[in-house]
Amino acid sequence: MEFIDIPTEQTTAVTDAILALLSLGCALYLHRIGTHKRWKANVWIGLFGLLTVAAVFGTIAHGFKMSAWWNNLFWQPLFLSLGLVVALFVVAVVYDAWGKAAARRILPIMLAVGVIFYSITVLIPGLFLVFIVYQSTATLFALVIYGRLTWRGKLPGAGWMTLGIFITMVAAVVQATGSLTITVIWPFDYNGLYHLIQMAGLLALLTGLRKDLRA
C-alpha cells in the first residue's frame, strides 16, 4: 500500500495515530494507579483500549491508498470499537452516579447496544448519523450526571470529567459539520480537527479519573 497523497487525509491519519498513542498511554496509566477501584479502572482501561484500536484502524483507513473494498473492511473494526467505547462510557457514568452494582447490571445491556450500533452500520453503510445520535445521547447523559456530581461535590475530579465531556461534545460538533477545514501550517479537515480537540478531552478525563482513583 502507498501513503495517501491528499493533504487533509494525511493530517487526519497522523492525528489518528497520535490519538491512538495517547489512548494507549491513558490505559496503561490507569492500570498502574487503579488498584483502589479496580472495577472502575478496568472499565476505563477497556474504553481507552478500544479507542486505541479504533484510532489505529482510522490511521490505516485514512493514511493509505487502497480499493474501496479494503477501505470498507478497515472501517468495520473501527465502527465496532467506537460503538463499544460509547457503551463502556455509559457504564462508567452509571458507576459514578449509582455505584458498582448498578454498573455491573447495565454492562451486558450496553455492550449489546454497542453491537447493535455496529450492526446498523453494516446493514446501512455510510449511515454515520446513527453514530452521531448514539454518541450525542450518551455524551449529554454524562454531561448532566457529572455536572450534578460537580455541583454536589460528591466525586473527586468531577469538574475535570465535566470539562472533558464538554470538550468531547465540541469535537463531535466540529466533526458533524462534515466540511470545516482550517490550515495551521498543515491543512486539517473536520476529522483531523476532531482528533485534535478530542485529545484535549481525553487529557481532561484522565485528570478527573486520576483525582478519583488516587483519592
Give the residue among 81, 149, 146 at the shortest CA–CA distance from 111: 81
Q: Give residue 126's pLDDT.
A: 61
pTM: 0.93
Q: Give residue 121's pLDDT.
A: 75
More confident position, 209 or 178 = 209
Any domain includes 83: yes
Give residue 5's pLDDT band: very low, low, confident or very high (50, 70, 90). Answer: confident
Whole-angstrom distance, CA of residue 210 vs CA of residue 25:
13
Q: Which residues contact 19 (CB under 8 A, 6 or more apart)?
A: 51, 55, 195, 198, 199, 202
Residue 201, amino acid: G
Mean pLDDT (whole number) for 180-206? 95
Whole-angstrom distance, CA of residue 128 vs CA of residue 78:
12
**Domain interval for residue 121:** 7-213
Any domain includes 1: no
Any domain includes 2: no
Whole-angstrom distance, CA of residue 107 vs CA of residue 43:
9
Mean pLDDT (whole number) for 198-213? 97
Mean pLDDT (whole number) for 65-78? 89
Whole-angstrom distance, CA of residue 193 vs CA of residue 197:
6
Q: For the chain, first and last CA: distance in Å?
A: 48
Any domain includes 122: yes
> Cα 133 vs. chain centroid, distance in angstroms?
14
How many domains, the chain?
1
Any domain includes 148: yes
Residue 146 scores a pLDDT above 90: yes
